[in-house]
Structure 1
Amino acid sequence: MFDLFIQTLGVTAPVFAMMFLGLLLRRLEWIDTAFVSTASSLVFRGTMPTLLFLSILRADLSMALAPALLGYFCLASVASFLLAWGWALWRCPRADRGVYVQGAFRGNNGIIGLALAASLYGEIGLSLGSVLAGVAILCYNVLASVILALYSPAASSDVRSILRSIVRNPLIIGIVLAIPFAYWRIPLPEWLLESGDYFAQMTLPLALICIGATLSLRGLRDSGRVALSCSLLKMFGLPLPLTLVAWWLGFRGAELGILFLYFACPTAAASFVMAKAVGSNHQLAAAVIAITTLMAVVNTNLGLFILQWGGWI
């Protein structure tokens, strides 16, 4: 358990460090609101789509394609989305429902989930986790585009506008473009891949610095109750039933372990970037990311301990 705790902390601690750095840089006035807006736009439109493209491109599809696992995860993601939406209708002001729902069902699978899967299960965890992360990110971005379009003050909520926001979402474009390259193993020039890596590596530091720069005591106080409600749903309310259903359906071993890790991931940094891009309450999004990342150290270790104690993973 101690080793597992250290592994989890090793993944989440750098996330907190970068958010704290963003807060510090804002206090020192080295960065300002204009920087946060520009950097968030760069992440959303450029660096994150590139990161997703390269992650899918390098996944071993022949080793990691598990239709039952991928299908269940997609259904579970939709169920999480609908449950979070239903809960938000009761617990959240209308203006913040898009951010609330996105924060409650959207996990940081591409960074934290994948790192833990690879740490626990090695090459199988990395390959299976990469493909699952790609499917998750595709599902998450489609559903997030829908809910933000419905509740964002800057977005239109008619069907055509929602479809347009999905088709034009840079994160979805990055994933869809990568699929044929990964499936048919289409080679790309080495210099292009290396340049893409340089560009993509800016994603997490920039996104987390922007989140940290947005955090404030006043913002946390104003969104405290809503952010805490969303965080508890994300980290405890949804992972338990989704993992139990997976166990009941017969998933065991690495598949059940990775499913749990992905369900129990803290909220993705992309939720802040998307909320900022559509003019929604990005301060609430930042607060949810910070709280769920802190909670991840507890719920991940507790959940894996129970699954290992039961002999299911």
Structure 2
Amino acid sequence: MDLLAVFSQTLQVTLPVFAMVFLGILFKRIGWIDAHFISTASALVFRATMPTLIFLSIVRADLDVALQPGLIVYFLGFSVLSFFLAWGWAIWRCPFADRGVFAQGAFRGNCGIVGLALAASQYGDYGLSLGSIMAGGIIIVYNVLAAIILAYYSANARSGLGSILKHVARNPLILSVLLAMPFAYFQVPLPEWLMTSGDYFGAMSLPLALVCIGGTLSFSSVKQSSGPALDASLWKIVWIPLLGVLGAYALGYRGRELGMLFLFLGTPGAAASFVMAKAVNANAKLAANIIVITTFASLFTLSAGVFILTIAGWI
């Protein structure tokens, strides 16, 4: 096997995604985008363009191929298990007040943006279709478990938990998955002009969202990172994807299903974890540091993971 060719193929998966993140860093530094732009663009992606992209990818999907119930159940089940593993580690290693933020940062990934972008880059329409279904399910798991753990360790538990759970029920990404499934299952045709317009609109989602992620990152946060932030980051981008992939391999998963699982489990920390930590007056600085570290480091861990799994013949 030509190692150079495999390495080049690996970079073709990860570099286009992270190039957009680094462009966001550059644009913020030279003043082409600012906090107002990032806030507005992020809201547009979350409420409109990303739901459109997810809806169309599922509508076009062959559910007999893209819908993998066993893989989805394993992914969601292992994510729940990883939450409890991270929580147990936090009880052992963290001050009481920081345990909720640590556990959330250690298990919660940016599947809705980075995971989907990587899946589309690696597996095209199949990756986008299956990834959309996986993202819809994991968004519910992430939000519910994060709400519970943050509420448990927060002084604002009761007021914060109810509000967050209401947001889960109205999440546009979840609603787009639920709305698209009947269209895909019954093969309901949509006008061609509507599909084309939707393609134009949805195509903005991934590059715009990745640029916004870059615009929110700060190298100074990395320099000031604490031990718990580094510890949680290792859980997020090393131990959880490693354990998840080994478990799936033992169950017989191979090829693109195993590759999809690795890409989703290996995603960096979700930006929403900072928002949720701030909403309940938890340690928002720790949450931000985890996001920054995992975003920068995952370029290398994801590239290395795809390379190793390809060389081993697992994907």
Match in the other structure for 1:256: 258
Mapped partners of 2:183, 2:113: distance in 1: 22
Checking the alignment, whether the CA contact within 8 Å between 1:16 and 1:290 is kept in structure 2 is no
1:6 is displaced (CA, Å) by 2.5
Distance in 1 (alpha carbons) for counterparts of 2:125 and 2:36: 42
Distance between the aligned counterparts of 1:44 and 1:256, measured in 2? 27
* Structure-2 separation of matches of 1:152 and 1:254: 40
Question: Which of 194, 204, 211 is the equivalent residue of 2:213?
Answer: 211
Q: CA deviation at 1:158?
A: 6.7
Determine the C-alpha separation between the residues in 2 that align with 1:259 and 1:233. 16
Which amino acid counterpart does residue 79 of structure 1 have in structure 2? L
When residues 6 and 116 of structure 1 are mapped into structure 2, their CA distance, relative to the original with a 3 A threshold, is: farther
Q: Separation in 2 of the partners of 1:67 and 1:95? A: 37
Cα distance, 1:251 vs. partner?
Answer: 2.6
Q: Distance in 1 between matches of 2:229 and 2:106?
A: 10
- The answer to whether the 8 A contact 1:102-1:271 is kept is yes
Task: Quote the offset at 1:120 in angstroms.
Answer: 6.0
SS for the counterpart of 1:185 is: coil
Checking the alignment, whether the CA contact within 8 Å between 1:103 and 1:234 is kept in structure 2 is yes
Query: Contact 1:141/1:172 (CA < 8 Å) preserved in 2?
Result: no
Match of 1:295 among 294, 297, 303: 297
Return the alpha-carbon distance in structure 1 between the equivalents of residues 279 and 195 of structure 2: 27
Unaligned runs of 5+ in 2: none
Deviates more, 1:119-128 or 1:292-301: 119-128
RMSD: 3.8
Query: Normalising by structure 2, what TM-score?
Result: 0.77
The equivalent residue for 1:229 is 231
Cα deviation, residue 250, structure 1: 2.9
Name whichever of 71-80 and 44-53 sits farther off.
44-53
Which of 59, 62, 85 aligns to 1:60? It is 62
Cα deviations by residue, 1:56-76 (Å, 9 ceiling, x for unpaired): 223221123333222211211
Mapped partners of 1:111, 1:65: distance in 2: 20
Match of 1:33 in 2: 35
**What corresponds to 1:74 in structure 2?**
76
In structure 1, the gaps of 5 or more residues are none
Equivalent of 1:188 in 175, 187, 190:
190
CA separation of 1:29/1:311 partners in 2, compared to 1, >3 Å: closer, same or farther?
closer
CA distance in 1, matches of 2:44, 2:281: 16
CA contact (8 A) 1:243 1:256 kept: yes
Alpha-carbon distance between aligned partners in 2 of 1:275 and 1:51, rounded to the nearest angstrom: 28
TM-score, L = length of structure 1: 0.77
> Percent identity, aligned pairs only?
60
Q: Which moved more, 1:118-127 or 1:288-297?
A: 118-127
2:85 to 83, 86, 98: 83
Q: Name whichever of 236-245 and 223-232 sits farther off.
A: 223-232
How many residues get paired? 313
Q: Deviations over 1:82-136 (max 9, x none)?
A: 2223334455566665554444323344555556556666776665555444444
